[in-house]
Structure 1
């Protein structure tokens, strides 16, 4: 052999030799056992294919799993319903579509004590996994300080004075799963795995897992393909135990391929999500669904066959940037409706945001879901038309997105292609919302609020559960200031919330369907600064009386509260572009 040929042979780039490809049935059978702490990674999707297989193999066997998962939603709920889980470590448990709210199955499981709940936030959850992945015992954070979440998590959270400064910080303990499950775009036979943004919690749980990673992917690719896309390879082969090929394996979630050629993305199945969440209200109907759609389906492929080719083709079409035009064409007609209380509240909040943001020099907006994101979206476009740019962010890793008409869902896949940056939670919540270049205003909803701005979205009363923090605590503690948007009643506007999910120190403005509450400089308590004149006959005395009667504390009022006009026709028309079917604006 000539020397040149020998050199070429020696330094040729080989395909990986190790072959970890197996069915998801074999992967679950080999690598998952009762009592495990199972981490299910949530990027912009998760592996429902693997979760279905776990249900099939462990149903009726009381495996007492600990489920470590950023959000408990959609068909993940089936693990709770079947009693496969003894403990849940999460930041959110509930429904997300068509609106955010409690899920009956999760709510009852936590309230009755059948499942132990350990509740974190969207930022502190991956920080615990990140600490473990880095081999550290803990990592510092500003989140949780001043909340009841800090108290509940006292075993794994330690507040202390900053040894290099004057502020109060907290330490979150490292969290080590026994096994991690990840859904990726593609992998080679050895397990080098491609994932695309937005990454949400990213893959810190996979890197922290003591037992390695079970990977499900849309497609098997060569190691040459992996090298050509090394910039989106997020899990190296040596961490992976099994690779299972499961097309549409994230359903009812979606897959954003972000230009990775040869692989087709798909949108989230919102129709399916709505249907499933309705089923959760009827235990018998849910049990029947689990039997028919999971237990009697021998594989995820058979589950997809039940969905049908037409449904899958429609979901593939939903990944196209122009799909929103179809959604818009199917919208309901709400053009002749008079403004309702929720619409009045959202327009009022958007106007106030457009006043605060340029005045304070804020450049980023991170909102919660529902009326909060609709107000933020409306304000973003209003500021843009006035020549002021404020970038929208979503905690999962969207930055600079421009929401499309027709779909009000905060996490709408149709907005992905409008982003100027796709990243992860550590950037959006850990840096852009509270870091060195923080110029962020938060916009949040919640279940209850008190006169100091403390928010409760966890436990509104003894033995009653809502949904958990999500990212609310992180936003309220990190952003320069926060606005809360919440419909007013005596049950929701309280002297003191029974549980502080997010502390109110930086919550400066509160907007209801009837007025605006603000904290004067140097004050920790809201006062009424403006009322909404929602009818020509409404007097100041009547408006203030209505607000006071529906407020749970002795409300103070400025001497001459501003009378705010109801939405103009053009404001209302623009707002309704985002929610034409009235999911949030009804």
Structure 2
């Protein structure tokens, strides 16, 4: 039976969603953002739902502000543009405010969806072991390898935004796949979809959700806005870029109750049935102004991290870098460029399915559509976090940022120092659970702590920690981190290296004689500022 084409996303929601349902918001590189706004408009004050999604950011905040989330299942809650950062909406999340939450990693949540889609009652994951994420899960062991059993996730309905549908109601997805296809297949009742257009001739490439899984469709141009969508010439679709201005304004609007109320009135009350993407504004130009002047401490930090990545790749022969969001991905990009300049080709992947990405200069956002266009190929989160990460031990290096890291290498990106919520795991737990990990974290008493208050990622695979003063390393998890290289602070150029690290962090740094780091060169600084001309990481 051909799915019904509805006149609007709001009509789609009214026709199929009911109070108390389990709804999954599927993510490729983009979410069904018009459909999410429609759901918030239609059900604000009249219904609540269990919502699962790999992340609560961007327009997902609308569901929170509308008060329609009864229970959440997610891996991340915060903002991602221009960098990963907490959002005040979720500061009380550990205590169940604004809703109770289950915290997962990207891979473990995807594995739950795969179990649901394939009819299995549970999945086995080697993520989560040794972390505080869902610590009460059953543990199994075989051949010395530990894993946990995770229950299948079977939402009632999954929301999807696809590039196009054909006349029979089959949906077509293009670009990095995230968990979108599996999220759609896991739905018990079926899929509600917005599409950019309906085509007479189906595309031969991409991935399709069959019509018999689709309950209803609404045509909505710019249906992924404020996120972008890659071009698909075969469908005569030009694509569009992420709307950074909208994302930044939305993040600002979450700061206070008054600002949140104003945003809800503007987007959900005063302008129902409207989607902001229709008015344009989703083609933010890439910045091109490169600053002059001496490097900031953050720029020095990124350069030192890039040097450490380069050295580790050359020492081990790693051919792949897995980049986490933040200073980590900028350092990974810079390292890949530096390695290429000396004839050492290395591939950089990101968790949503960007494979062998070549970043577009001037756009520092990790998940920009500009970078999608320059990937050698696409996959999905199972390809990257499953095969290339979980199955890639000894072949790839993970590079992560950290809210906190302790002297055992354990990483916390889930809790703030006062017990509030930070941002969550995302794919970090999956990276650190399976690959040698290099952490980029500034030396401060708040970041390098004796013991983390929450273990997002186990520390056994962390071999290197790079600060703005140099890198600390160890060969084995039973060893202490020792200071291996040293770049003195600008204000105390003659400072003792180990004494400085002890006084400016809370780590018990052992005595050592670190090698001096050379000053940041003009060439290194120019390469970094070409990647980050606006100085987001300055």
The alpha-carbon distance between structure 1 residues 84 and 140, as it changes in their structure 2 partners (threshold 3 A), is same
* Cα 1:111/1:580, change in 2 over 3 Å: farther
User: How many Å separate the matches in 1 of 2:97 and 2:358?
Assistant: 42
Say whether residues 1:431 and 2:399 are aligned partners: no
Is the aligned partner of 1:193 residue 2:193? no
Instruction: Give the structure 2 partner of residue 334 of structure 1.
Output: 291
How far, CA to CA, are the matches of 2:307 and 2:503 in structure 1? 25
Provide the rounded CA distance (Å) in 1 between the counterparts of 2:92 and 2:373: 38
Aligned-pair Cα RMSD in Å? 1.8
Separation in structure 2 between the aligned mates of residue 396 and residue 335 of structure 1, nearest angstrom: 34
Q: 1:50 and 1:82 mapped to 2: Cα distance?
A: 14
CA–CA distance in 1 between the matches of 2:526 and 2:416? Answer: 35
Are 2:146 and 1:168 equivalent residues in the alignment? yes
Counterparts of 2:451 and 2:292, CA distance in 1: 40
Kept after mapping to 1: 8 A contact 2:139/2:147: yes
Corresponding residue for 1:34?
19
| Distance (Å, rounded) in 2 between the aligned partners of 1:55 and 1:382 | 46
Residue 425 of structure 2: aligned partner:
469
C-alpha displacement of 1:460: 3.2
Is the contact made by 1:533 and 1:565 (CA closer than 8 Å) also made in structure 2? no
Offset from partner CA, 1:253-272 (integer Å, 9 cap, x none): 11113433322211110111
TM-score, length-normalised on structure 2? 0.96
TM-score (norm 1): 0.88
> Displacement of 1:210 after TM fit?
1.0
Spell out, residue by residue over 1:136-167, the C-alpha distance to the aligned partner (whole angstroms, 9 max, x if none): 1122221101111141xx2xx322102xx221
Query: For residues 350 and 243 of structure 1, what CA distance do their matches in structure 2 show?
Result: 46
Superposition pairs for residues 6-405 of structure 1, below 5 Å? 18-23=2-7, 24-61=9-46, 63-111=47-95, 113-151=97-135, 154=136, 157-162=137-142, 165-222=143-200, 225-226=201-202, 229-301=203-275, 303-304=276-277, 308-309=279-280, 311=281, 315=283, 327-329=286-288, 331=289, 333-336=290-293, 338-405=294-361
* Mapped partners of 1:522, 1:465: distance in 2: 28
Q: CA deviation at 1:214?
A: 0.4
The CA deviation at 1:328 is 4.1
Task: Report the secondary structure of 1:381's partner residue.
Answer: helix
Partner of 1:517: 472
For the 8 Å contact 1:370–1:408, the answer to whether it is kept is no
CA contact under 8 A between 2:392 and 2:434: conserved in structure 1?
no
What residue in structure 2 maps to residue 322 of structure 1? Answer: none
How much has 1:66 moved relative to structure 2? 0.8
C-alpha separation between the residues in 2 aligned to 1:466 and 1:437? 28
* Larger Cα-atom Rg: 1
Helix, strand or coil: the match of 1:292? helix
- Match in the other structure for 1:450: 406
Which of 441, 445, 470 is residue 397 of structure 2 equivalent to? 441
Structure 2's unaligned 5+ residue stretches are none
Offset of residue 437 of structure 1 = 7.3
Segments of 4+ moved more than 4 angstroms: 109-112, 534-537
Q: Does the CA contact (< 8 Å) of 1:21 and 1:190 recur in 2?
A: no
Deviation (angstroms), 1:243: 1.0
Q: Which has the higher helix share?
A: 1
The number of aligned residues is: 537
Tell me which of 384, 405, 413 is aligned to 2:369. 413
Counterpart of 2:508?
A: 554
Work out the CA distance in 1 between the residues paired with 2:479 and 2:39: 49
Matched residues in 1 for 2:394 and 2:274: separation?
Answer: 44
